[in-house]
Amino acid sequence: MRKRVSKAVLSIVLAASMVFAAVPAVMADEITTAAGEDYSDREVINLWFWGAEPYAQEAMKALLVDKYNASQDNYQLVVEFRPSVDADMTTALAANQGPDIVYGSGPSFVMPLVEAGKLEPMDAYSEQYGWADKILQPYYESGTVNGTLYSLVNGVSTMGVFYNKKVLADNGWEVPTTIEELEAVMDKALEAGLYASVTGNKGWQPVNENYASAFLTHVAGPATMYKVLTGEESWVNDDVKAAVAKTKEWWDKGYLAGSDYVNLNFSESLALLADEKAPFFIGPSIAFQWAASYFTDDKTENIAFVPFPATEQVPDTTYTLGAACTLSINANVSQEHKDEAAKIIDMMMNAEFMQEMTAAWPGYWGTPLKDLSTVDTSEMSYLSSSFVDVVKSISDAVNQGNFGYYDNVFFPAATQQRIINIDEVWFDTISVDDYVQSIQDEFEVEFEKGLVPPIPKPSGVE
Amino acid sequence: MNQKTRRKINWNYFLIAPALIISVSIILVPGIMTIVYSFTDWNGLSPNISFIGLKNFQQLMRDGIFKRAIMNNVIWTVMFITIPVCIGMFSAMLLLNRKKTRNFYQLAFLIPYVLAPSVNAMLWLNIMFSPVSGVIAALRNMGLDISSPLASMKTAIYACAGVDIWHYWSYLTVIYLAALRQTPQDQVEAAMVEGAGSWQLFRFVYLPSIMTTVKMMFIIITIGCFLAFDYIKLLTGGGPAHATEVLGTYAYSLAFGSMKVGKAAAVGLVISFFGLIASSIYTYLTRKENMI
């Protein structure tokens, strides 16, 4: 009898402890999503986002979520940070579910969603908020399908060279301005027992696409790539082959972190750069956001960024146009929610938001605006103001037509996947010729289906 | 009598309904849909779906990555039906006579098994394989010219399997130990009286006694090996250059990378086919035993 009573008491204690353990978790969630305010009577506007670092999530909550929630009385914005946001989003939208504001990893991600009728046309909102007038034209166009706007790029990204000023100065190496100079410094770094450059695809295989995109821009050239992407020319041409062969040459020489490429992520790569283990980190400008964790104290100003150096084929400063992400509106939500989603997207598409977010989270929110003159960097940290300089420089180059194409913005899904698989060439499982042919095979099918986003015309193309 | 029987049948339907509804809705319907999609070019989103017959399967037969994925699944299976089985059996035999400390050891061994795959993978990536902070970095600092096994096409699949085996073997230990403890004690004692050594005791008394469990685990391991996904996805994503690609990661990459859900469904069917073969073998073996 006593045994039975003690069992019952134990059960009650266990059940109670489970309930009490759950309560603080629920309460904590409410506090983090509502910043201490009780918004339980408000309708929820959802935004799913990738799993950014904790400091970045805090910045987003403070500068977007809290600001929006405080601006009106009917809705509350809830941002969910999901590491597998791309796969989650596709699955949810396929079932006519998903958040009000649709995150995408680039305009090419948007194309199948538009074809399936999952996204709301945004032309009316564009007119209401004046997006066409204030956003850089190539970026605005990349979000259109058959002339109708479906997505906006929230931040620009481009391939370039981060370097450690101290490593270059200590070794008497100059900041490279041409690819030959860059390669010469990397050779010397290898001789000195350093990494030639640090980078890697640990945990995120699509990192490969950064190098493919950069060499397609700077070796194949924007004019060739424009013709290829508009179907005027085949992928199987000497310029594209030369670009792929150049990535292979870099791989073989160990310029891409040597055998550590598959064991390093961007965060670790920047830690190594900060620790003076390499002169360079060649990667996307969004990597500024990870640099903030390692270039601290007396190392803060050791890092700098230059555009990808000049090549024989592309001598002028040219940027590969990439996107941090795209924002769209779910077609399967109520009209009121669509209107609010557009309002929230507009909050993110202005210079003031870019200034505030870049100050707190450098590297991600390079809003592709035509006019960035109002962005004040005087109060910003070194990293934040460096990033703003990069975005302004990209903006100028784009206005002059000096740009190439990032695969995650301009290539359709299956073609992009073949680009990501460029490591097949690096590891000698396929020849350059066969690899380029395999891209052509995928692209041909997707081009015929109309899955290629609009391709902006660079300078030098008639 | 008739009325009574009818009432009983009605109750049977009522009792079986929850399991039946769940099975139909989350197994049968998606299963049928997967079969149907494997004959289409569906991208996972579009309302326009075209039936393309056997084209997906024909393309897979010519696809080098698909062939490599099958080969990797076979390598994975061979490793899993030998290495963790041997370790698990050996440790179970060792624990069999440790009556006081057995529970402690089981608990300690099971820790990797109860941790989430993402945690285990991060531990190995950061503590073992990392050239910044891991054992690899420490060995390099000691002057050894060494790189991570994940970086080589020749070793990456074995490195991934090693991590998965590290997390899995203790589960087999627990299963085998539970089975070993069911061995009739009089047989054990009789063998010992006859002068049987440890190996003979295992070979002629314990092993025949647990053979049903061993066979069942063999089939479960084989089916699981063709469903392998989590550790490979977390450790290498199928790379480098598809060196660790298995059918599960390839199907995922086709569905969510290339947006070829129809083709991914075809790969899914191939996975099911291998599972079906393993299940059939198990059914055959157990039927033979039941007839004896």
Whether this model's ipTM surpasses 0.90 comes out as: no
Whether pLDDT at A106 is above 80: no
**For residue A206, what are its two tokens?**
């699509």
The distance of Cα B113 from the centroid of its chain, to the nearest Å, equals: 13
User: In 10 A of CB B49, how many CB atoms?
Assistant: 15
- Whether chain A has a CB inside 8 Å of the CB on B43: the answer is yes
Helix (H, G, I), strand (E, B) or coil at A46: strand
Confidence of residue A399 (pLDDT cuts 50, 70, 90): confident
Each residue's pLDDT tens digit, B132-151:
888 998 998 888 888 899 99
Beta-bridge mates of residue B92: none
Enumerate the residues of chain B whose CB falls inside 8 A of the CB of residue A204.
Answer: 237
Beta-bridge mates of residue A283: A160
Largest Cα–Cα separation, chain A: 94
Which domains are assigned to chain B? Answer: 63-291 (1.10.3720.10)
**B136/A423 touch (CB, cutoff 8 Å), yes or no:** no
What confidence score (pLDDT) does residue A51 get? 86
Asked if residues B240 and A427 have their Cβ atoms less than 8 Å apart, the reply is: yes
Confidence of residue A38 (pLDDT cuts 50, 70, 90): confident
Residues of A with CB under 8 A from a CB of B: 86-87, 90, 93-94, 112-113, 115-118, 201-205, 259-264, 268, 271-272, 413-414, 416-417, 420-421, 423-424, 426-427, 429, 442
**B152/A87 touch (CB, cutoff 8 Å), yes or no:** no
Measured between alpha carbons, how far is A351 from A395 in angstroms, rounded to an integer? 13
Whether pLDDT at A18 is above 50: no
Burial profile A422-441: b = 16 or more Cβ within 10 angstroms, e = fewer: bbbbbbebbebeebbebbbe
Measured between alpha carbons, how far is A288 from A247 in angstroms, rounded to an integer? 24
DSSP conformation letters of A166-217: HHHHHHTPPPP-BHHHHHHHHHHHHHTTS-SB----TT-GGGHHHHHHHHII
From the number of C-beta atoms within 10 Å of its C-beta (0-12, 13-18, 19+), residue A444 rates as: middle
Taking the CA of residue A427 and the nearest CA in chain B, the distance in Å comes to 6
What confidence score (pLDDT) does residue B175 get? 95
Place of tokens 């066409």: A132
Measured between alpha carbons, how far is B113 from B108 in angstroms, rounded to an integer? 10
- Whether chain A has a CB inside 8 Å of the CB on B10: the answer is no
Whether pLDDT at A200 is above 90: yes
**B132/A421 touch (CB, cutoff 8 Å), yes or no:** no
Enumerate the residues of chain A whose CB falls inside 8 A of the CB of residue B62.
Answer: none
**A262/B151 touch (CB, cutoff 8 Å), yes or no:** yes
Enumerate the residues of chain A whose CB falls inside 8 A of the CB of residue B136.
Answer: 263
What confidence score (pLDDT) does residue A27 get? 38
Nearest to B45 among A93, A202, A259 (CB): A93
- Whether chain A has a CB inside 8 Å of the CB on B208: the answer is no
CB pairs under 8 A between A and B: 94
Across B18-32, average pLDDT: 87
**Angle between helical axes of A238-253 and A208-215 (0-180°, round to 10):** 130
Across A432-459, average pLDDT: 92
Confidence of residue A402 (pLDDT cuts 50, 70, 90): very high
Nearest to A424 among B150, B237, B241 (CB): B241
Which domains are assigned to chain A? Answer: 2-16+157-321+401-448 (3.40.190.10), 20-155+324-398 (3.40.190.10)
Asked if residues B93 and B209 have their Cβ atoms less than 8 Å apart, the reply is: no
Asked if residues A423 and B240 have their Cβ atoms less than 8 Å apart, the reply is: yes
Asked if residues A301 and A382 have their Cβ atoms less than 8 Å apart, the reply is: yes
Strands A303-307 and A159-164, how do they pair?
antiparallel
Q: Calculate the alpha carbon distances from B4 to B9, B12, B16 in Å.
A: 9, 12, 19
Chain B, nearest residue to A277 by Cα: B132
Place of tokens 């166009």: A141
Nearest to A118 among B45, B125, B253 (CB): B45
Taking the CA of residue B201 and the nearest CA in chain A, the distance in Å comes to 41
What confidence score (pLDDT) does residue B5 get? 56
- When the pLDDT of each residue in chain A is averaged and rounded to a whole number, the result is 89
Nearest to B44 among A90, A261, A271 (CB): A90
**For residue A61, what are its two tokens?**
């909550």
Which amino acid makes up residue B251?
Answer: A
Beta-bridge mates of residue A164: A303
What is the pTM (predicted TM-score) of this model?
A: 0.84
Confidence of residue A245 (pLDDT cuts 50, 70, 90): very high
Most confident of A94-108, A130-144, A240-254, B200-214: A240-254
Whether pLDDT at B1 is above 50: no
Which of B42, B45, B56 is the mutation pick for testing A, counting most A CBs within 10 A? B45
Q: Which of A450, A414, A409, A413 is nearest to A147 (CA)?
A: A450
